[in-house]
Amino acid sequence: MTGPEQDVPTTPAPNTPAPTTPAPNTEGTADPVVDVPHAGALLTVTGADRPGVTARLFAALAVLPALEVVDVEQVVVHGQLVLGVVVQEHGADDDAALVARLRPVAARVGDEAGVQVLVEPAAGATGLVADGVRRHHVIVLGRPVPPEAVGGAARAIADVGGNIDAIRRLSDYPVTSFELTVSGAEAAPLRAALGAVAAATGADVAVEQVGLARRNKRLIVLDVDSTLVRGEVIDELAARAGRAAEVGRITAAAMNGELDFEQSLRARVAALAGLPVSVLDEVREHLVLTPGARTLIRTLQRLGFRCGIVSGGFTQITDPLAASLGLDFAAANTLEVADGVLTGGLVGEIVDRPGKARALARFAAEFGVPLDQTVAVGDGANDLDMLAAAGLGIAFNAKPFVREQAHTALNQPYLDAVLQVLGFTRDEVLDAV
């Protein structure tokens, strides 16, 4: 992106006296802002939804002179319509007079359409959020969503100075999710307040800033063990080597951030020495995908995303998995094999915590996707650099240490709940599938 143009100072020609009084510069001067008075009114339509209600209302408003529509919000909940319309009359400043003119129109529309149309003053209504006021999407997810989660979120938003401008349902299966559009609250206190609600109610509450960046994501990276698939592959291998308890303790410490990942990885791999390479095929065949994994990948691919995996596990497992899912890229560690058995060593570059972030950056560059248009999903401490580097980092059923540092967290058992965090509705998912 180029920076703003800079003024270049000019030097007067030699022997040319500089003017003592500069001539007035009128070039490029904006017209003065004229504060035109206006009256405002809010029309609220409620009743059974049926074809033609909205068209009938706006047709009636169209015949009134000097009237401008400045805001519209409509929602249908189980067949019941709620439609709000803010109008202004320029050149007038009497809200009450405008309301009086609109009430007979509203009554006629209500009688003809079989709905109720309430008209009330809306002094100074503009339908716009003031410049500089931040807006956020707050997504509440659950299976189900308890009333106290929605009520708690609403109270928390108000407590930090926010206002709920709109609410819509994103999905009803496999999780129920609602999106609240919030204005007037800063991100940090909003996330903190809603985090307390999530902890108290068991629902997931995600926060994202409103803007084009939310829908311009183009690449997603998924961790594998305990994210894309259930369980930890290395624990399965260790069980076959008779070292399950030992390796399990090391794995838990590494995922909680208590041990350096590379050191813990090498210690765990060393415990696999002597395993026949055929064991890798057995473990791979018994992998269980996390519910919703195929739906997430298939949907995002049809929406134009590049999808791949970056794992601290092993290429002998992840490469065939990536091929079976039709993924665009994969990165992982490689187990050393000699004479048909695992040596207990690794070959090539280690994909550890910083290695995962490097892999994300590498794949984003290969596909020409800026990092702020990427999404990363993971559950362990070794995912933290990758989650931080992505435009959106999602902790999925993660350790508390990881949830606290990710952009947002999901604790639902379904991986396709990521789609709702990205703002996609259930209908959009079904259309993509």
Q: Which positions are catalytic?
A: 223, 225
242 Cβ contact list (under 8 Å, min separation 6): none
- What is the spatial distance between Cα 391 and Cα 382, in angstroms, rounded to a whole number? 18
φ/ψ of residue 350, rounded to 5: -85, 130
Residue 136: name the closest of 207, 200, 42, 68 by CA. 207
What letter does residue 304 receive in the DSSP assignment? T
What letter does residue 13 receive in the DSSP assignment? P
Per DSSP, helices labelled H in 241-288 are 244-255, 261-270, 278-285
DSSP for 20-83, written as a single string: SSPPP--TTPPPPPP---EEEEEEEEEEE--TTHHHHHHHHHHTSTTEEEEEEEEEEETTEEEE
Pair of tokens at residue 125? 């209504």
The CB density around residue 67, as the number of other CB atoms within 10 Å, is: 17
Residue 222: name the closest of 111, 336, 300, 115 by CA. 300
Residue 292: name the closest of 375, 207, 410 by CA. 410
The CB density around residue 165, as the number of other CB atoms within 10 Å, is: 14
Query: Residue 44 in contact with residue 117, Cβ under 8 Å?
Result: yes
- What is the spatial distance between Cα 382 and Cα 310, in angstroms, rounded to a whole number? 11
Strands 67-77 and 329-338: unpaired
Residue 278: name the closest of 339, 229, 323 by CA. 339
Pair of tokens at residue 86? 């803010």
Calculate the CA dihedral of residues 327, 328, 332, 335 and round it to 10 degrees: 70
344-370 b/e (C-beta count within 10 Å ≥ 16 → b) = bebeeeebbbbbbbbbbeebbeeeebe
Residue 422: name the closest of 198, 179, 176, 227 by CA. 179
